[in-house]
Chain A
Amino acid sequence: MWIKLLVLAALPRYDIMFLEILKFMIEQLEGTVWAMIYIVTALMLEASPIIGYFNLKRDMTINSYPVFSNKEIALIVSGIGKVKSAMAATFLISNYRITGSDILINIGFCGAQAGKYPLGTLLLVNKVTDVDTGKDYYPDVYIGDDLPKDSVACCPRPVGDNDNQYECSLFDMESAGIMEAAYKFFNTQQIAIIKIVSDFLSPENLDKQVLRSYIDINMPILDRILNELKQLNSMVTSLDFEAEDKLISLISQNLNLTSAMKQILETEVRNAKRKGLKILEILERHIESKANTKPEGKKIFGEIIKDIKQQAF
């Protein structure tokens, strides 16, 4: 609101048209819900190139985990393993009010069978198998058209070349935990598991500088992936029902509606708004209505529902 006042005060009075356009733009901006990107990495080594690239700042209000954020990204360093990754993902998203446009991403290293992908290759994961439980998870991958996509086996310990008994060609230790948490809170297209090949199943004595360089060289690709994900998920706009909910509460009070009737009204209003109907106008027409008896309230409630349905024609 203060931005609006400041801009309005600074404008020359004669330019009414410009003023109206600007007012409209500000209203649009005020109504915009910015999508949040939640990133989980197991190691600080994986996180630090991302923190630098997106200029994330440590959130000093959070002590349980290292969390770094800006206005559209929040990154948490979970520690190694699927339980830790599930805990950290849940902790992170519990600290924010998640919407239908938000995205949950796991970025981290994986081991690969030799020969299939070069070291440092970035892959999008389209199937995660938890080797402990045998459970499979399937994130929908609609982005990164030109990038390799593959399945990953999530193992409880690092997989070496000698103990590889699995059918998969990629191995990590966090993806199943992320998927378990993600299935609870997100739609299947809001999740991305991104892996970078760190070794050919020889996870011992890896050079930290080399590992960091694998993330560094992939940052432009990662940036592009985030933009594609944001674009995709912004198409599933989550509407804001705050104004409607206020009117529904007022109407429910005035008409002594039961909880069930209020719930029906909320559902009808949400459905109608989603279909582009001017629902506030209808509700505003009824805010003055008062009911002294239950039958009166029921009658007016019926009229409101009828008005909403009528507008669809």
Chain B
Amino acid sequence: MEKSLKTSSSRLFNSIYIEEQAFEYPITKEIIKSHPNSPIIKIRHYKDVFNRPKQNFYIQKHNQSLILAVKDKNFLYKGPDVCQNFGHSNFYYTSFLLNCIFDCEYCYLQGMYPSANIVAFVNTEQFKSAIRDVASNEPVFLAASYDTDLIAFHNVIPYMDYFHDFFKENTDILVEIRTKSGNESFYRCHEPLENIIIAFTLSPQGIIDKFERYTPSLETRIKAIRTAISLGYKIRICLDPIFINPESDSLYEPFFKYIFEKINPDDILDLGYGFFRMSRDFFKRIESKSNSRLFAQNYSHYNDVVSYPPDIQNEIKAKHIDIISKYIGKEKIFAL
């Protein structure tokens, strides 16, 4: 599997599957117009393709197809315990996209979905109404880029163009958009809003090289953060996932120092910190098919979550937080 699994195609998507009912939506029309060389395959329901048995996730990851679909239910989900809620009790997440263009070796999506193809939901208006319903009673913290990277995908489907005005009008919805993207033009094209937080996932370059295939370098991400800050965006830094092993341990201290040399801590809203962790089910699924040594290590299981043993986590966390808090107040650090 070390060899490239990409076939020779120069197209962005191997094929574009489109649900019968999705053809009339603006996103679909734009995609058909902008990808004239991709074969279009009409389907009845996205699950007929996405949930097929016996798909090879890793070959698909290198030859991704796009599936355009109309979401009919479950527009929002309650935020899971393994995710940081940053002090917000009414925490939801939503997925306009399933799967990601990046290929992180540690990513839970390999265990969550049977396919590496990307599903993009085109009925944005129904998403808005579902979000509005949930936010009608009390303010909501909404993670909008969990099972994907919306900003990295922005040049394919500009979801923020569809949602920007909606979020501007609905200030009771605090939106977090998590990203590893270095796409600076995104920030130049959209006015920053009080209720939108851009959460950048940062890792030491050694970890990026080892585990985060096709993602921008640390330097590029930091450049994007600086651009976003200069344009008035609220920025969250996510140091997540942190890995514990003899090779990685020495990378973190200089990494923390480097971040705050490049970014003024006063310009940061807050910081999330969390170790590599995953639901036991996802872990088991990935373990049985992945070639990654990451999934051959010995982990602890607690409440159906696989991660490092708690005593080691506490020891490393104390050491790391001690360093980070030299730059940023402890009240701004949210550690899982």
Contacts and interface: CB of A to CB of B under 8 A. Distances in A.
B291 A274 contact: yes
A141 B55 CA distance: 12
Interface size, A (range): 35 or more
Given A275-B292, A277-B293, A277-B296, A313 B15 contact: no
A276 B49 contact: no
Interface stretch (A7-15, A85-93, A182-190, A243-251): A182-190
B279 interface: no
Contacts of B288: 267, 271
A140 interface: yes
B262 interface: no
Contacts of B245: 313
Nearest to A268: B296
B293 A312 contact: yes
A228 B55 contact: no
Nearest to A126: B41
Given A183-B54, A236-B56, A306-B298, A126 B39 contact: yes
A151 B55 CA distance: 19
A142 B52 contact: no
Interface string A131-150: 00000101011110100011
B49 A236 contact: no
A183 B1 CA distance: 23
Nearest to B45: A136
A232 interface: yes
A309 interface: yes
A311 to B, nearest CB: 8
Interface string A228-257: 100010011100000000000000000000
Interface string B188-212: 0000000000000000000000000
B48 interface: yes
- Chain A, interface SS category: mixed
Interface residues of B, number: 39
B42 interface: yes
A288 B43 CA distance: 58
Contact of B7 (A143, A186, A188, A276): A143
A309 B298 contact: yes
A108 to B, nearest CB: 21
- Chain B, interface SS category: loop
A310 interface: yes
A138 B41 contact: yes
Interface string A39-81: 0000000000000000000000000000000000000000000
Contact of B59 (A126, A235, A312): A235
B106 to A, nearest CB: 14
A127 interface: yes
A277 B295 CA distance: 12
Contacts of A310: 298
A271 B298 CA distance: 13
Interface string B5-19: 101111000110100
A211 interface: no
A138 B295 CA distance: 31
Interface string B301-332: 00000000000000000000000000000000
Contacts of B14: 140-142
Contacts of B36: none
B48 A138 contact: yes
B49 A138 contact: yes
Contacts of B103: none
B296 A312 contact: yes
A313 B297 contact: yes
A235 B3 contact: yes
Contacts of A186: 54
Contacts of B296: 271-272, 275, 277, 308-309, 311-312
Contacts of B59: 140, 142, 189, 232, 235-236
Interface of A: 126-127, 136, 138, 140-143, 145, 149-151, 183, 186-189, 228, 232, 235-237, 267, 271-272, 274-277, 306, 308-313
Given A183-B54, A232-B7, 6 more contacts: A140-B60, A141-B15, A151-B42, A183-B52, A183-B53, A235-B1
15 contacts: A127-B41, A140-B55, A141-B14, A142-B9, A142-B59, A142-B63, A145-B9, A151-B41, A183-B53, A189-B60, A228-B7, A274-B290, A275-B293, A309-B297, A313-B297
